[in-house]
Amino acid sequence: PTGQDRYLERLGELLGINRHTLEEVLQRQRQSLLRAATSKRQRQRNRQEPPQVPVAAAAFKQDQLEVFTLALLLRDPELKEFAETLQPEHFYESENREVYLKWVECSILEELREFVDTPLREHLEILVDHDFPTMDQKERTEALSHCVRRLEERHLREVLKQIATSLSQALEEGEDTTEVTQTLRKKDERLRELFATRVRRGF
């Protein structure tokens, strides 16, 4: 099989779907791209900006994983060093993403409360008051590490779907797929690292 075939098979494994289903998804993507290419110029301009993790924002509205992660970080400043791999794009809810960005710039909760504007302050307090089981420091650290990995895994899966679409488009248009394939390889390797860490730690 070609390099593209191998990566498509690997992508199907990562996304939990078989090769036949993946090909159907890519075929639908190709058909959608062809329809877009024949649409009016204004519609084409509207489609130019790539979706920021499509469907994700709606699918994870009031996302409890994001809420729990932020609640842990807000309640325990000592956990900050364990959230170094966390990135703004891992948060699909805009309010959660904004709180995270403000939190990164503050050292204590009181400073964060003064830093956020009024519309965001209510959401911040909801996060601070979030109810979760009593945990000691070790349990909180493990819980945060687990949440951070899950957030990154979720984001990587969505990115891989976008890469598959880009690869499909490149193949359809006869373009060089080297850059897309290299990006897919890097994301694939990172996702496998996260899976390996989960297996070693038992979650």
The pLDDT tens digits for 107-159 are 899 999 999 998 899 999 999 999 888 899 999 999 999 999 999 989 888 88
The verdict on 79 and 138 lying in the same domain is yes
**Percent of the chain topping pLDDT 70:** 61
Q: How many domains does the chain have?
A: 2
When comparing pLDDT for 168 and 202, which is higher?
Answer: 168
131, 199, 90, 8: CA torsion to nearest 10: -140
Sign of CA dihedral 113, 115, 121, 125: negative
Least confident among 35-44, 140-149, 176-185: 35-44
Q: Which residues of 45-59 are buried (b: 16+ CB within 10 A; e: fewer)?
A: eeeeeeeebeebeee
pLDDT over 70 (residue 16): no
* Residue 148 and residue 172 in one domain: no
Instruction: Work out the number of other CB atoms within 10 angstroms of the CB of residue 154.
Output: 18
Instruction: Please identify, among 136, 153, 170, the residue that sits at the C-terminal boundary of a domain.
Output: 153
Same domain, 138 and 76: yes
Check whether 10 has a pLDDT greater than 80.
no
Domain that holds residue 112: 56-153
Helices (H) and strands (E) in the chain, counts: 10, 0
